[in-house]
Every structure is written in C-alpha cells, then in structure tokens.
Structure 1
C-alpha cells in the first residue's frame, strides 16, 4: 500500500507504520488501518457515511479514494488529497472516486517533530567539507569532478535507501516532475526490471560503489587524473547498457537513470578535455582496484544486513498477526486468576466509572517503573472516560527505610491536597530526577502523614504475590508476560468495547 503523502501529513514513520499495519491479524482491512493509527497515537473513529451527509464532515478526514487510504482536506472549492501523492479533486470527482468509509481523526498537538538524524547531519557536513577542501586544494575542473561524484553518491544513496522502504523526496521529485504517475511508473518499471545480482547488489547499487570510489581517488590520491580518465571511460559501458534497457527493452525513460547518466557523461567530458595523461606508479592501478573491491564489499555487506532485517520484519509481521489477535490475547489474559483488591482509594487516578481499571504494582526506586507509569498515565490521557488506574507501591511500613516513607508521605500529601494532574506531575518528576531533596522543595506536609492506607496496599500486594515491579493488572487480570507492556495500546480499544470484559464502575 502506497500512502506516503498520508503518513507524511500525519507525521508518522513509514517503516514503523507498515510494520504495525502488516502485523495486524486483520491486515489489510479498514479495522487494521484504524487500529494502527490508534497504536501510533492518532486517535480515530471509522464510520460508514452516505455522501449526502459529507458536507457536515470536518475540514480534514481520512477516506478511501481510488481504492487507497487518503487524507481529504477541504480547500475553498476543491479538495486536497494526500495518499501516494498529493492531488486536487473537485467535489464531484471526490464523491465518484470514494467509498462511504470515513475516518475522523484527532491530531496530537505539539507532536515532536522528527529530528534530523545525527547520521544525516554528519553526512551533509561531510559533503560541505569535501566541496570546501576541493575548492582550496584542487583546480576548478577537479573540484567540479568531485562535486559531480558527490551528486552521484547522494542520488545513489537515496535509491539505496528507497530499496529498503524508506521514502526519498529526492527520488520522488526527480521521477515525478509535473507528471508523477507516468514518470514514477517508468522509474519503478526500470528498477523492477533490474535482475542484476552481484553479491546482492543491483545496477543502482553499483552506481553508489562507483561514485564512492571516484571521490576517494579524487581526494586521497594526488596525480590520479590518468586513473580517473580511464575509470570514467569505462563508465561508458554502464551508460550504454542503461540506454539499451530503457529504449529497446522496457521502452520507457527513467528520469533518475537519465540524471545519473548525465552526471557520468559530464565526468567523461571533464576527464577527456581537462585531465592530462601522466605517468603513474605501477602499483597505483592495483591500489585503485583494491579500493573499488573494498568499497564494493562494504556496500554489499551493508546491503546484506539490511536485507536480513527486511526478512526478519516480514517474518516478525506474520508472527505478530497471530499474537496480536484479540481473541488470543483475551484468552491468555483470562487464564490468570482474578485478583480483587480491597484498598482502592489511595493513588487512584481517572474516573471511578471507567470500564477499564489498571492496577500498577510499582516501586519508586525501580528504574523500569518509569516507563510503566508513563504508559498508564498516557492511556488515561487518551481514554479519560474509559480508563482509570491505581498506583500500588510495594510498601510495608515496618520493613521500609525512612527515605521511602518520607517520599511516600510527599506523594500522599500531594494526592490529598492537590489536583490529580499535579499528583501525577510530582510522581513523574520523581522518576525523572530521583532526588528526594528536590521533591521536598515542592511538597509541604506540615505534619506527619498517615501511611496506613499505603501500607494496606503493600500488604495486599505481598499476599497476592505481586512482588515484581512493574506489574500491570487489567480489571483484576495480570497482563500476560508473553506480551510487551506497550502492546496494551494495540488491545485497549477492543477491551473498552468488550461488554463481557469491562467494568461498570468501581
């Protein structure tokens, strides 16, 4: 499913989305799509709605346009469609191309913008450094030659990434132009027709090896003009092969292939007109060949690692479809004995009438509990009506040191005297700073705090054998150990809607 523009519009990672979507037991259904959005933080509801009511829809929603999930955004008279690509449709065109399914979604405000990866920052700095070094060290034509090699590396790297499912705006723009559908199809057809397999590398991968080799030669070896001239002339075979496949075999032109060919041709022209023949050491050709082989094997190794990762993801997706089946999850969940707690007042957050109640067995000195707390609080924030929780610290007064008692006193004072939000904040602050002096500065118990309720909770935990932290209990049933805690996001909607499972208030 090609929904690049939709994922970009929602600020979702493409690889993460497809992994979660394809591992859904109902993939590729509408339910699987909706559940995946929920899992990744895009709260949504799906409806079958006759088009006569579509004028009442919000300005932005998700529908199925031309058989593909798409974001539909109302403009003045037309509609912007974000799916495989972005396009504009009139109201009549939209209605003709759409099914009656609409998904209303809620964008998470202030979502963290995807930071530019450290790798890319270093890479761009390296590009700039190479250009500056070439300008200072070499002649204008040698500098231009190196810049062309960098351009070839950049495009070939983007092709290499795209092979493993990472969208490249550079490749899309070059292949798309003003006629994205036709030209993108042409590029895809050429790439799909490439049956080359040299240690797992295709022709597009070998272009990366070629440009990396030429940049290393141009930068590291002085007086290498003769070798570069020979190398560029050898690239004529690759250019001829590329044109032959495009014109005579596939009978379509690939714009990205043409771009790489133009770079190669420009380098040939520079080498013929500007590079001079000079006598070279007899070992230099051997060094050049060794450099090429080293770069080739390095790229082949990276390629094999990424291929293995892709195979693992496919295999994992199939396994996850089974384990993420709600019926299986519910069956495993209900196989444990139900635990009933009597002490349910202290450190209770959320609505008493919530359908799903989570008991979090915790310890403020447990480093793994921090993420469990964040998970539970996030669930309450996402489902304020349907999910509640009680934080149950493993505390027995007689066996605890004075600092633990002091810390829980601060928690209890905040719970009794401040808002729920402020109580949650102080626990979150503790897990972030882990410094009782700092907690003391923002808590003001004027007298000793009665911790008998907290002690009762600790004793109940101990009697139930709940000594491991963090432990999550849902409506009295222990969250199955074979699942990751984060998998609760995957099942929470179904748990809420399951009338046989949910509570009717505490």
Structure 2
C-alpha cells in the first residue's frame, strides 16, 4: 500500500466528519514496523482513538456490506460507497468492483477527538479571521476602485490557498481537496500524476507550485502595502501588463496536462482561472492612472523581495522538517519493532517479589499475562502516562491481569500524603465497581497540587472513606512489594516479571501489548 491508501483513509475520515492531524497520522503510520500493511493503518487509527475493524467477506456475502467502507483493491485501500445497488470506488462508478477487491474491508466504529486537533482547527480559523478583518479595514481605509479590489483579493486568496495545496501535494502532504475531485476516472483528473510526473525535463528543475505560491503571496503583500499608502493604482498598473507574462506559463501547463500526461489537475485549473480573471479585470475595469511614485515602487520591490525571502525560508524549514520527520519515522519503526523490544525486555531487571495479593487488581485475575503499574498520586509523570494506562485497561481487561501498586512510604512525616493514599485505597476497597477507583485516581491527578480544587474531589468520593485499618494493611503490602523489588522511580511498569525498558517511552507500551499477549514469558 502506498500514498493512494493514505489518501483514501484520510478522505474516508473526512466523509465521516473525523478531522485529525494528517501529518501526525502519516508519522505514526510510516513509523509502524509493518508499514505499509493494513495492520499499520489500523494501529495508526487506534493511536487517534478511532476504533476500527477489518473483516473478510466473501462475494456471496456482499449483501451485508455497509453503505460506505474502505476495501483492499489490488493491494491498495480505496473508499467504497455501496448505495442503491451502485458501487463507487474513490468517487467513480465501478462495475467490476467484485472482481478486483480482495474481500477485505476496514470500517470505523466510534471516535474520540484529540484536543490537539481541535486546537489546530481553531488556530486556522483565527488566522483567517484576522486576514478578513485586515482586508475589511483596507477597504474602509481607502474605498476607491472597490470592485477591482474585491476581485483581486478574492482571486488572490483563492489562488494562494490552492497554490499552497499544490505545494503540499508536490511534497507529499495531505490536502483538504476530496479524492473524488483530484482523482477520478469519470472526470479524467489525477492531481498526483500531474504534480509528480517528470515526463518533461523542465519539471525536474522547476516547481510550478512554488512559483504559484510566490506569485500570489507577493501579490497579496504588495496589495496590502500599497493600500496603506493609498496608491493602489500603481499596483493595478503593474498587474495590468505583468499578468500577460503568466499566459505562456498557463499555456505550458495546459499543454502538459492535455497532451503529455493526458490527465487534468483541478488545482492547477483553479490557479489558472484565478489569474485569468485578474488579467481580464485589470484590463477591462477602468481605474485612474498615477504617475511613477518612488515610495510605491520601493514598497512594491520590498513586498516582492520579502515574499521571495519568506518562501526561501519556508522551503528551507520544510526540507529540514522533512529530514527530521524521515529520521523520526526510521527511529519509530526501529523502536516499535516488537522483536527488538522483546530482546531488550529480556535483559531487564526481574521481579524478586511476585506476590500480588496486596495489589489493586483489574482485568482478568486468572490471566496468564500480567501488567503491573507502579505509581504515586503525586507523580506528575504518572499523570501524563495515566490516560494510556486507562486505555489499556479498557481494551485488554479480558486478556490481562492488571496490578497497581502505590510507591508509598508510610514512615514519612507527611499527613496529607498519608491521607491521600488511605483515601484512594478505601475507594478501591469500598466501591462495588472497581472502575470508580480508576476514575478517582484520574480525578486526583487532575487536582493534585491545586488545593482550591480538592474539595470537590473529596465531596464526590467521601462516601467511600472509612476506617484506615484495612487500607493501611494493603498499603503496607504495597510498601513491602515496592521495597523488595527495588523500585526507585514512578511510573514504573512490569510486563510479567520483567521491568519495562527505560529506553522506551511509556506511551509506546500500547504498541507492544497485542504481540505480548500472544506470547508467554513464563
């Protein structure tokens, strides 16, 4: 599976109104040891808390297919819509779907959106809001030639957006453009083929997406600068004739698409249409000419040169980021390789005391495999790892015995510390549903160190507080277990009797549990 599968999955998520950070999704995907397998895509979706399932379905069972799903077709994932007995693949009708597919589908169930994705979308909305306010201010500041200004700003912004999307496509990044538009047999479109094809030597050295991005960036910057000195006529005078230089570039692009690649690129068409509209408007709509103004010429030069420097800097940073990302992907793939992890795990410290009778136990008490988590209610690093731990408890409670020990020192002269440990232990002892203890610990991590927020926590769980005798008995067992196994830091994790390697991130644990469950270290 290649980028076609990546594009299909991201478009499938978009169709379901599931918005994720595509760069991070790609990072998790390509960092997977089994990339580009179906398992890699499934695990990458799990990373974003997107529950997904794969099924093998025979052709005689096709009546049970859902309305939309991802299917393996000739080694690639594709978005399939199955409505009113009509099959479309990636937006195009397909009459031979059942002769090409590999009888494997991937569907999503439910989704818990990551906060960072919301933040990224919010920041993007704020940026566009600021840009809109800026141009509204400029129109109010100088209302002359308003029609021409509106045309240039609208087409300039559209051209900039699509030039940036073209740049991302050229450099292998995700885009908001639906796959059914950018790649369709019915429309004879294929953006990736047009951008990445090197059938002409000129395109090996010239990046038209960068030229387009520079053109529209400099245009918008110069528009703003010349509007501020109320000499927008100078701007239009230059573009009245300067835009004619774009005609051979547009003609070259169209010829390349029609006769060389024989596919169309909707992104390129939008860019060409934007410039053509500007060219027609600048030559047909009347505006007052102004004589050469030294200040205007200087600002125009500054705008163009500044845009060029910004693009060069952007390209340099993008190349460095791409290099770092590729290095990180290689490191992730190495680090998440289970065989390497298993070899490393076998070299770690072993438990001396395997008496788990005093532990807080969750999951399957009779399971062959155990996962032991050593924590401290006042540990900030434990707070960071705890969401991953809760996810593992929820997902593998039928297959794992999960133990929790507190790293507690009962001889310590700290009443608050002692009280918190006793209260949490009483919640575990007295609650009928032990999941309440996990929720209480999660709640405590949220308020730890913030005394003004603790009252609500105490009120919520005070019904479980009682005699400290039984709680102290359990905590002494925790203290003895931690001391006899020489646990000196938290969070600490043991997989069966082996300590989780300190070289690995705690959050990486979830990548190893499936294969860990399939083996027996005893």
- Give the TM bin, normalised by the shorter chain: 0.7 to 0.9
What is aligned with 2:445? 431
**CA distance in structure 2 between the aligned counterparts of 1:374 and 1:347, rounded to whole angstroms:** 17
Is the contact between residue 167 and residue 210 of structure 2 (CA under 8 Å) also seen in structure 1?
A: no
Corresponding position: 1:234 with 2:236: no
**CA distance in structure 2 between the aligned counterparts of 1:263 and 1:60, rounded to whole angstroms:** 35
Is the contact between residue 357 and residue 474 of structure 1 (CA under 8 Å) also seen in structure 2?
A: yes
**CA distance in structure 1 between the aligned counterparts of 2:325 and 2:411, rounded to whole angstroms:** 50
Q: Which moved more, 1:171-180 or 1:331-340?
A: 171-180
- Segments of 5+ residues of structure 1 without an aligned counterpart are none
Deviation at residue 493 of structure 1 after TM alignment: 1.1
Q: Which moved more, 1:130-139 or 1:481-490?
A: 130-139
Q: Deviations over 1:319-352 (max 9, x none)?
A: 3322222111111011113214324433222220
Deviation at residue 72 of structure 1 after TM alignment: 4.5
Pairing partner for 1:141 from 144, 147, 153? 147
Q: Which moved more, 1:67-76 or 1:343-352?
A: 67-76
Matches for 1:424-503 after TM superposition, within 5 Å:
424-434=438-448, 435=451, 436-442=454-460, 443-444=462-463, 445-450=465-470, 451-498=472-519, 500-501=520-521
Q: Which moved more, 1:438-447 or 1:45-54?
A: 45-54
**CA distance in structure 1 between the aligned counterparts of 2:123 and 2:492, rounded to whole angstroms:** 37
Pairing partner for 1:68 from 76, 79, 99? 76
Q: Which moved more, 1:188-197 or 1:477-486?
A: 188-197
Corresponding position: 1:361 with 2:365: no
**CA distance in structure 2 between the aligned counterparts of 1:404 and 1:192, rounded to whole angstroms:** 70
What's the secondary structure of 2:365's corresponding residue? coil
What's the secondary structure of 1:480's corresponding residue? coil
Corresponding position: 1:126 with 2:130: yes
Structure 1 residues 400, 356: CA separation in 2 closer, same or farther (over 3 Å shift)? farther
- Segments of 5+ residues of structure 2 without an aligned counterpart are none
Is the contact between residue 57 and residue 105 of structure 2 (CA under 8 Å) also seen in structure 1?
A: yes
Q: Which moved more, 1:408-417 or 1:250-259?
A: 250-259
**CA distance in structure 2 between the aligned counterparts of 1:270 and 1:45, rounded to whole angstroms:** 53
What's the secondary structure of 1:169's corresponding residue? coil
Structure 1 residues 77, 173: CA separation in 2 closer, same or farther (over 3 Å shift)? closer
Pairing partner for 1:99 from 93, 98, 102? 102
Matches for 1:32-47 after TM superposition, within 5 Å:
32-43=40-51, 46=54
What's the secondary structure of 2:294's corresponding residue? coil
Deviation at residue 294 of structure 1 after TM alignment: 1.0
TM-score normalised by structure 2 residue count = 0.84
**CA distance in structure 1 between the aligned counterparts of 2:31 and 2:414, rounded to whole angstroms:** 47
Pairing partner for 1:261 from 272, 281, 284? 272
**CA distance in structure 2 between the aligned counterparts of 1:484 and 1:15, rounded to whole angstroms:** 20
Is the contact between residue 48 and residue 114 of structure 2 (CA under 8 Å) also seen in structure 1?
A: no
Corresponding position: 1:168 with 2:172: no
Deviation at residue 192 of structure 1 after TM alignment: 8.6
Structure 1 residues 388, 138: CA separation in 2 closer, same or farther (over 3 Å shift)? farther
Deviation at residue 389 of structure 1 after TM alignment: 2.0
Corresponding position: 1:276 with 2:288: yes
Root mean square deviation of aligned Cα: 3.2
**CA distance in structure 2 between the aligned counterparts of 1:61 and 1:323, rounded to whole angstroms:** 32
What's the secondary structure of 2:35's corresponding residue? coil
Structure 1 residues 58, 281: CA separation in 2 closer, same or farther (over 3 Å shift)? closer
**CA distance in structure 2 between the aligned counterparts of 1:326 and 1:166, rounded to whole angstroms:** 28
Q: Which moved more, 1:69-78 or 1:422-431?
A: 69-78
Q: Which moved more, 1:147-156 or 1:368-377?
A: 147-156
**CA distance in structure 1 between the aligned counterparts of 2:303 and 2:59, rounded to whole angstroms:** 63
Structure 1 residues 58, 150: CA separation in 2 closer, same or farther (over 3 Å shift)? closer
Pairing partner for 1:332 from 329, 335, 344? 344
What is aligned with 2:398? 385
Corresponding position: 1:223 with 2:231: yes
Structure 1 residues 101, 26: CA separation in 2 closer, same or farther (over 3 Å shift)? same
What's the secondary structure of 1:202's corresponding residue? helix
Is the contact between residue 363 and residue 470 of structure 1 (CA under 8 Å) also seen in structure 2?
A: yes
Deviation at residue 491 of structure 1 after TM alignment: 1.4
Q: Which moved more, 1:230-239 or 1:329-338?
A: 230-239
Matches for 1:173-252 after TM superposition, within 5 Å:
175=182, 179-184=186-191, 187-188=194-195, 194-196=203-205, 202-247=210-255, 251=259, 252=262
Deviation at residue 411 of structure 1 after TM alignment: 0.9
**CA distance in structure 2 between the aligned counterparts of 1:176 and 1:69, rounded to whole angstroms:** 14
Q: Deviations over 1:345-376 (max 9, x none)?
A: 33222220234322111111111111222211
Is the contact between residue 141 and residue 270 of structure 1 (CA under 8 Å) also seen in structure 2?
A: no
Is the contact between residue 232 and residue 271 of structure 1 (CA under 8 Å) also seen in structure 2?
A: yes
